[in-house]
Structure 1
Amino acid sequence: MQCLFYICPPAKKAIGGSEKGNNPSINQMGAKLSYVKGFPPWGWVLGTGFHVDDIQNEIELIVQNFLRMFAGIFVFITCLSIYITKRVLRTEYKTAQAEAAKELDELRLKKLLELSQMTQNSIHGLTEFALEEAIQLTGSEIGYLAFLNEDESQLTMHTWSRQTMKACEIEDKILIYNVEDTGLWAESARSKKTIVINDYQNFQSSRKMGFPQGHVDISRMINVPIFDGDMIVALAAVGNKKEAYNDSDVRQLRLMMDGMWKILQQKKTEDDLRRSEERIKESNADLRLAQQICGIGSWAFNAETGVRTWSDELFKIFERDPELGAFTLNDFKKIYVDKWWDRYYSGFQAAVKEGGAFY
């Protein structure tokens, strides 16, 4: 803005007003405001003025700067709001994921507890239950479970899910497969790694051999190896989830199948122990019958606890009440003459110390 100042001859009073004049800043005529006043002591008149266009330009410049500042603040607030919203949504998403994972973990542990309590079920009943629950945990539709032999060269199909059995139209199902000759579904046995395929139709692999006529269509699948130490003992697979499989699905399937295998091993151990106890009972019954027939008895001594046990026939031979228990060393000493007692006692001590036989 350009201000004007000038001196002119004396005037009796101050004069102010508007007029038109040339505005150098825009190089054209424009309105201007001016004011003059006399200064009698010196005989001077002082005057000043400014162009109206300059004031308007200043106002427009201030408005433009304000708008720029407002726009900058608005953009900043908008960006900050978007950032905060994304952070909140991401936090809520992670929280929802954590809650969903917690619910799945609780459900899996509940089902494993149910599985461990199914003591009267067969192995097939246990594996079928575990497979159906794994399908539910991963949101799948189909699944199978196969066991490997000791050298991991053959797969034996053990359990298909109920939906698989309904959808499969293959009449003569193969139960035993050579791992090296089997297609993509046995890749986990060869690589000893989990295989996740979310687009089976477009998945490229030299092991992809297609399906026989009547086989269930597969769109997605997870295949996990089940380990016992360093050895693969089984393969478990689920498939055809409506959404893509993720790490949570893999985790739930692996943990469910690992838990199932431990329960199967525990059941096998308990079954083996029960059969052993039954065989021992049968053997003891046969031994008692033989002793009764032959009129001979038997006894045992636990060197660590010092406990002696007698067979029923031995109590009869010595005409001793079973309630009194087996003879102690002092009891034996009373019925042996010195010569035989020395032989019996030395042989007994040698057997206890050295673990050899004595007679």
Structure 2
Amino acid sequence: MTFLPQLRIPATYLRGGTSKGVFFRLQDLPLAAQVPGPARDALLMRVIGSPDPYAKHTDGMGGATSSTSKCVIISAASVPDHDVDYLYGQVSIDSAFVDWSGNCGNLSTAVGPFAISNGFIDPARVPRDGLCTVRIWQANIGKTIIAHVPMRDGQVQEMGDFELDGVTFPAAEIQLEFLDPSDEQDGGAMFPTGNLVDALEVPGVGTFNVTLITAGIPTIFLNAADLGYTGTELQAAINEDRAALERFEAIRAHGAVRMGLIERIEQAATRQHTPKVAFVAPAQDFVSSSGKAIAAGSIDLHARALSMGKLHHAMMGTAAVAIGTAAAIPGTLVNLAAGGGARTSVVFGHPSGTLRVGAEAALVDGQWTVTKAIMSRSARVLMEGTVRVPADTL
């Protein structure tokens, strides 16, 4: 048997927000993987180390969590008035597929710095010092993200004193604007059912009040109390409870059908990335996963969200957009948990601490719309060079 040398593919390993992922320039991928299809999916799965029945990703770049099993492909902009196209793939840990159905808000933070450092931005538009504005076309959902990236001495500034709960070390702050974040491609409207609150019947589990929204990422919001939770739970309380995870997956599957994202319950198994399931509760004192005590007076509400079948250690960026948008609209479960009324921003508690997110929403011709959501994250290059994969991968 002949064993060929491994393929060497230029890549950068980046942290963006509370996630990590392997970034590629489209032109650096093997030809077969430069177009969507089985070859591209096979390559990215092998890079990450999936599918892995051991759920460890020992033989790949993944971290065996939803936050670290991610790949990004950056290419020249295909849409006028944008700088780059950003395509995101959520790689399943134990199954052989890549979910292309949504965006990663956290890794969105790293797209601007990567684009600047890899020559996608006209040098005339990149200041030596100050902020470089990068207009990103999010190709998965067809939306615009604007990143304000700090520059110093002609280089992307990575170090700084901005602290992000869920990330151990401080870094430079990057502000993101998610323009018109409602995902019409999937739901047809920000509220797919036309209601701010629906009753969702899940056979064998129960009937729950839910807010179904497609801003940032399709999300199913529930009240923590209706699930028997306080809203201050940390990962172990959910992820070590198999029955709870099965219940959340049943809710997610039925919610996906109700939102029009899938036609049949069983299709949810091959659409793990979306929709998300989240539960909310009024503000109360809690202790974060790092042991930090956080007072109720410093937050507006609690929010916990599941990603790829597990409770997230912090909060997905796209889900934060959904939280901020729903909080801005009186009558949603998120808004009610925050105390009701009109608001343009909220600070919510999550397992790792707190996060502020803003949104501008308006009622136009009887329909709620959101013009943009804003939040700050940080990003840092962890490693750059080449990633290796077996030649028989493609």
Larger helix proportion of the pair: 1
Q: Does TM, normalized by the shorter one, top 0.5?
A: no
Q: Normalization by structure 2: what TM-score?
A: 0.21
- Higher Cα Rg, which structure: 1
